[in-house]
Structure 1
Amino acid sequence: MASYIVTLQLERNAAAFFNQMRRQYYPAHANEVHAHLTLFYRLPADEPQIITSLAAMVARPSFLLQVSELKRYTNGIAYTLMSTELRALHEALQMQWEPWLIPRDRQPLRPHITIMNQVTAFKAQQAHEQLAASFRPFEVTATGIQVWQYLKGPWKLAGEYPFLT
């Protein structure tokens, strides 16, 4: 069954920054998609109400997110993002899409953008120390939502739903 992945779209400069970081730190052989902030990991592509409700939910202004932390995981690194507007939007979409959510998508959102994964713990620690030395919190703007068709590897853009400007 075909499925959708739903991500938050960021302003062009922020997307370029995170993509550059991902190109630099993510293992090239495993880096099949751009840097992204996933809102929902798997929704049925054959359910028209998902797109219909999404189109209505994005009728809202763009909003700021605070890039608050550079987090190290055992085998990777991610930037943590914070926003009350994002949490409210995610919760509203969870309510709209409740019948189709997998357990992972029912959980509270932990917004992050992974720039390194699938590396040794040692390599993750080294990269984290290097990046953390100069990290300062900063803001980025959320500009919309993107829906991707999952193709068991790369993703194919299925739709963009911009916020009001």
Structure 2
Amino acid sequence: MTRADPWDPADPDPLVLTAILDEDTQDLLDGWRRRWFPPERNQLAAHLTLFHALPPDVLGTLPEDLREVLPPEAPVGTLSGVRSLGRGVAVVVDVPGLDGLRSAVAHRYRDRLTRQDAHGFRAHVTVANFLPPARARALLEDLAAGFEPRPVRVPGVAVHRYRGGPWELVTEVRIGERPAGERAVSG
């Protein structure tokens, strides 16, 4: 079942869950986004969205739920190519384990997902959008011609609150980090 009713008016801003990218990859994709995204539409840093709209009332349990499903080590994969978004271009992200992480979160919230989040997942980072179709095709061809795969690491996930355009960072859950006050168990 997917969520069809509107958000609770008392807390209408959904949560966006993104994968955190290693610093070099983030810098590269941010630069591409600044270069090719129409400036008046570019309100966000480059991002790999895992969920577009989780219900805001799960915020109290979401960080712990994420800690339970995150792998023990940061997954490593590849920026493997580019693909068309029609009026935009995305960089394809192949990270073994990312689909499984997303599936685990989707399973926990399966009755609360929007239609968009309940559908399939293809990991990507949008570097251009809202372009005239001919410009988008030309950019795709240019990027594909010179594209070289490169490694990417995902050291955690970030939870944002959607604010009608810009996002507000709520928390990050890093792989291998324990919450404040939690002690390591030795043995």
Give the 5 Å matches for 1:4-153.
Answer: 4-47=15-58, 48-58=60-70, 60-153=72-165
Percent of pairs identical after alignment?
A: 27
Name the SS of the counterpart of 1:133 in structure 2. helix
Per-residue CA deviation, residues 34-78 of structure 1 (Å, 9 max, x unaligned), is: 110000010111222333312332352101122111112221100
**More strand per residue: 1 or 2?**
1
Moved more, 129-138 or 111-120: 129-138
AA partner of residue 116 (structure 2): R
AA partner of residue 134 (structure 2): F
2-structure distance, mates of 1:82, 1:120: 28
2-structure distance, mates of 1:60, 1:100: 27
Name the SS of the counterpart of 2:141 in structure 1. helix
Q: Which runs of 5+ in 1 are unaligned?
A: none
- CA RMSD across the alignment: 1.4
Q: 1:67 to 1:59 in 2, by over 3 A?
A: closer
AA partner of residue 63 (structure 1): P
- TM-score (ref. length: structure 2): 0.83
- TM-score (ref. length: structure 1): 0.94
1-structure distance, mates of 2:65, 2:165: 27
Q: Which runs of 5+ in 2 are unaligned?
A: 1-11, 178-187
Moved more, 11-20 or 52-61: 52-61
Moved more, 124-133 or 25-34: 124-133
Moved more, 9-18 or 40-49: 40-49
Larger Rg: 2
Per-residue CA deviation, residues 76-113 of structure 1 (Å, 9 max, x unaligned), is: 10011112311111111111121221111112211000
State the number of aligned residues: 165
Moved more, 30-39 or 78-87: 78-87
